[in-house]
Chain A
Amino acid sequence: MKIAIASGKGGTGKTTVAVNLALSIPNSHLIDCDVEEPNCNLFLNKELEPIGSSKVTVPNIDEELCTYCGKCSQMCRFNAIATLPEKVILFPTLCHSCGGCILVCPEHAISGKEKCTGIVSRSADMEDHPRLYEGVLNIGESMASPVIKELKRWIEPNISTIIDSPPGTGCPVMTTLEDTDHCILVTEPTPFGLHDLSLAVEMVKIMNIPFGVIINRSEEGNSIIEEYCDKENIDVLMKIPLNKRIAELYSQGIPFVEEMPEWKERFSALFKNIVNGKELA
């Protein structure tokens, strides 16, 4: 069972939900796919050891052989190569590693060079619960998806796996959500939260992933999200109140299920409901 925790808007409590949910499920694995800002371990403080890295092939241009014909920049649909009358310039942050320029260069002036774009690590202690897998995109790199793909290779079938997705609805999120069984969208009851939730809902619908919503920092008398979910026929799986104790624990980096056991039960029940729902379907 793979459950992804996503949110249209950043800062809604996605990581909080992922960490607390993983802590409430026996033998679970937690995969932090928010490789631009991986934050799960700030709440778990695990010792991690590197187990892999994402590698992409980027072009390496031998100017000795180059005739500045411009075929490579014509081929490159990502504008990652510019040919000037006497110079070829590569923009590594724009390169998607498609290999097109290498194929077209008539002078064989371009070769592929392997580049590491991110690191994948896991809990050093394998008995640890939840076992954490984390990917980090190297600074200055633009493509998060290869790190996420490398990270997702470590997902084991038959293990309850919680996946912390990046925020938004862009390529890294789609790469994360692909092949997951269920998605929990975390939002907050503000107009920003509602707007971004509706974008995320459209995305999971297109990807055909069953989903439900968790409202974080929920307040009495504010039903902006419930009204939307009612209208759209979306399950509200849980409401986490705007609560001083929870906020304090958050700022200290303590997952609140550790201090408030009633919440561990709620998360565990939530997980069972999702599993049962899937078996019924």
Chain B
Amino acid sequence: MEREILSFIQEHSQWKGTGMKELVVISGKGGTGKTTITASFAAMAKNAVIADCDVDAPNLHLLLRPKIMETHAFYGMDKAKIDLERCNECYNCQNSCNFDAIDENLIVNQHKCEGCGVCEYVCESDAIKMVTKISGNVFRSATNHGTMVHAELGIGEEASGKLVSAVKERSRSIALENENDLIITDGPPGTGCPVLATITGAHLALIVTEPSLSGMHDLERVLQVTEHFEIPAIVCINKYDINENNSRTIEAFCHERNIEVVGKLPYDTSTNLAMMEETTIIEYSQNVLSEGIKALWERVVSELEKQ
């Protein structure tokens, strides 16, 4: 089934045959240094669009200081609204809602409502309307390192997968328009909806992990996801020196699965200092870490060329 979907997406993708590549940086576990690395890539890439798909907790803008050029309203899922004047209290809507979003007083819980429209469909008194609502913004911004697409979700709004897709679509159309040859995407943590939306159609996933038990566990899960959707994946071990034993375990594990470990970066406090200065680590300092990231970038570029 997944194979069928993949080929469907590839056939219908607008950038087919343009030679444009899409790199996603993901991590499974949060806090592994994914954004620090993505921001440095952005600073080194010659002709790339930068996309922040970690829409729940976006951080890339804190390092790349984007200047917003265009703002596009993002419409999340519509929400059901019941007009009690028209309602004859048949409760068909409540019985048909698979998300328990309509209570016994026929009030729609705005958090629980997923906006499927089933209640509107089953209501015979025309008492239910699906109401559109702006639930965030997608930005096209200028940075010192090229165009950046990022987003902001309104407080309490919850349509991350859909917003991720909106960010991706916009980055792709900008890349087509500007003839960029690469999209670099900072992805969300986890293995669920936002991650799947992020990796769909990507040419290469760089997975940033760390040698902690949770880092290792989550690497395994996220690798299963990239394998499941047949996205080529490579691994970078960040802060490898906080536990060299675990780092060796990760390397052995990747080797067994035929996954390349393309970089090992040391723990370095300059990451936080660069963050305080709102800049990328490679612009901030010349040290073992920034040299490591440069070498990593070269490996990633050559892996991308293979795809």
Contact = CB atoms under 8 A, between A and B. Distances in A.
Interface residues of A, number: 59
Interface stretch (B175-183, B188-196, B293-301): B188-196
A137 interface: yes
A98 B114 contact: yes
B82 to A, nearest CB: 17
A115 B295 CA distance: 45
B29 A100 contact: no
A104 B117 CA distance: 11
Nearest to B193: A142
Contact of A167 (B1, B8, B30, B275): B30
Given A9-B30, A42-B217, A196 B228 contact: no
Interface in A49-82: 57, 75, 77-78, 82
A39 interface: yes
Interface in B188-241: 188-197, 211-214, 217-218, 221, 224-225, 228-229
Contact of A77 (B99, B117, B155, B160): B117
A57 B99 CA distance: 12
Interface stretch (B41-49, B54-62, B257-265, B281-289): B54-62
Given A37-B217, A170-B56, A140 B229 contact: yes
A77 to B, nearest CB: 5
Given A98-B118, A142-B161, A206-B155, A251 B217 contact: no
B218 A202 contact: no
Interface residues of B, number: 62
Contacts of A78: 116
A37 B191 contact: yes
Contacts of B246: 251
Interface string A224-253: 000000000000000000000001001101
B214 A15 contact: yes
Contact of A251 (B121, B189, B225, B242): B242
B160 A75 contact: no
Given A10-B189, A99-B118, A139 B224 contact: yes
A140 B111 contact: no
24 contacts: A11-B29, A11-B31, A12-B30, A36-B189, A75-B121, A77-B115, A96-B114, A98-B98, A98-B99, A98-B116, A98-B117, A98-B118, A100-B118, A139-B191, A140-B229, A142-B197, A168-B56, A169-B158, A171-B158, A188-B31, A191-B275, A195-B62, A203-B155, A203-B156
